[in-house]
C-alpha cells in the first residue's frame, strides 16, 4: 500500500499542539477510509509531509495505536490496522448506554431551538447525500450527535466517546453505501430530533436504539463486501 492520501502540502497551525494536529489528520484519513488497512506509514515520509521532527510523529502514532487504528512494530514499521471488531463493539455499547439516557434527559425539557438546530443538520445531511458527498454527510452526522451532547451538558463526554469510536466509525463509513443506509440515518436523525422536541422520551430512546444498532447487525455483509477491512475471526 502507498501513501497517496498524503499528497500536497500540510499546513501546520503554529498556535496549536503539533502532535494533536498530526494525530487528528491521520485519524481522519483512516476513519474516512483514505488510508486502507495494511498501508505502511513510514516515519521518514511522515516527517517530510508534516514538516516536523520525529517526536510529534511518534507521539501521534502512539495515540492511534492506543485507539487500535494502527499497529506499531518497534524498530520495523507502522501500518494501518484492519477494523478491530472488539473495539467497535465496546464503542457501540458505550454510545448506546450514554445516548439512551441523554435523549431521555433532553426530551424531559424540550427546547425548540435544539430541535431546530438538529433538523438543520438533518437538512445538511440530505443535501450532502444528494450531492453524493459522503465526507460532508459524515461531518453533519458527527455534528448532530455532538450538538445533543452539548445540549445535555456532556461536551467532554462527547470527546471521550469520539476518541473510542474510530473503529466503529470506520464500519459505519463502509456501511453508508449499502442497503440505503445513508437514507436510513437521515430518517432516524429526523425522528430523534422531533421526539426530543415533542418531549417524547420513550420515542426518542427507541429511535436511538434503531439508529445505533444497524451497522453491527450487518457484519457478515460488510465482511463479504470489504474483506480487507473486516477480517473473519
Please report the domains of the chain, with CATH numbers, ordered by start residue: 18-80 (1.10.10.10), 85-225 (1.20.120.530)
pTM: 0.89
C-alpha cell at 104: 431521555
**Residue 18, SS3 per DSSP:** helix
Assess whether pLDDT exceeds 60 at residue 42: yes
* Distance between start and end Cα atoms, the chain: 23
What's the pLDDT band for 197 if we cut at 50, 70, 90? very high
Do residues 212 and 185 touch, judged by C-beta distance below 8 A?
A: no
- 150, 102 Cβ separation under 8 angstroms: no
Flag whether pLDDT at 142 surpasses 70: yes
Amino acid at each position: 500500500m502507498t501513501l497517496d492520501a498524503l499528497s500536497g502540502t500540510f499546513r501546520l497551525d503554529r498556535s496549536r499542539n503539533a502532535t494533536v494536529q498530526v494525530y487528528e489528520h491521520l485519524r481522519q484519513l483512516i476513519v474516512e477510509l483514505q488510508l486502507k488497512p495494511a498501508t505502511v506509514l513510514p516515519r521518514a515520509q511522515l516527517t517530510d509531509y508534516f514538516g516536523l521532527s520525529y517526536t510529534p510523529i511518534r507521539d501521534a502514532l502512539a495515540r492511534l495505536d492506543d485507539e487500535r487504528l494502527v499497529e506499531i512494530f518497534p524498530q520495523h514499521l507502522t501500518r494501518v490496522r484492519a477494523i478491530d471488531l472488539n473495539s467497535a463493539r465496546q464503542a457501540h455499547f458505550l454510545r448506546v448506554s450514554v445516548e439512551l439516557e441523554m435523549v431521555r434527559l433532553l426530551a424531559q425539557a424540550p427546547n425548540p431551538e435544539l430541535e431546530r438546530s438538529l433538523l438543520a443538520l438533518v437538512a445538511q445531511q440530505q443535501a450532502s447525500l444528494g450531492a453524493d458527498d459522503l465526507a460532508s454527510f459524515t461531518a453533519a452526522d458527527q455534528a448532530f450527535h455532538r450538538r445533543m451532547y452539548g445540549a445535555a451538558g456532556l461536551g467532554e463526554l462527547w470527546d471521550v466517546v469520539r476518541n473510542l469510536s474510530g473503529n466503529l466509525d470506520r464500519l459505519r463509513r463502509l456501511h453508508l453505501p449499502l442497503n440505503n443506509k445513508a437514507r436510513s440515518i437521515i430518517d432516524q436523525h429526523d425522528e430523534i430530533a422531533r421526539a426530543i422536541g415533542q418531549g417524547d422520551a420513550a420515542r426518542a430512546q427507541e429511535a436511538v436504539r434503531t439508529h445505533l444498532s444497524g451497522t453491527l447487525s450487518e457484519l457478515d455483509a460488510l465482511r463479504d463486501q470489504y474483506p480487507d477491512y473486516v477480517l473473519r475471526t
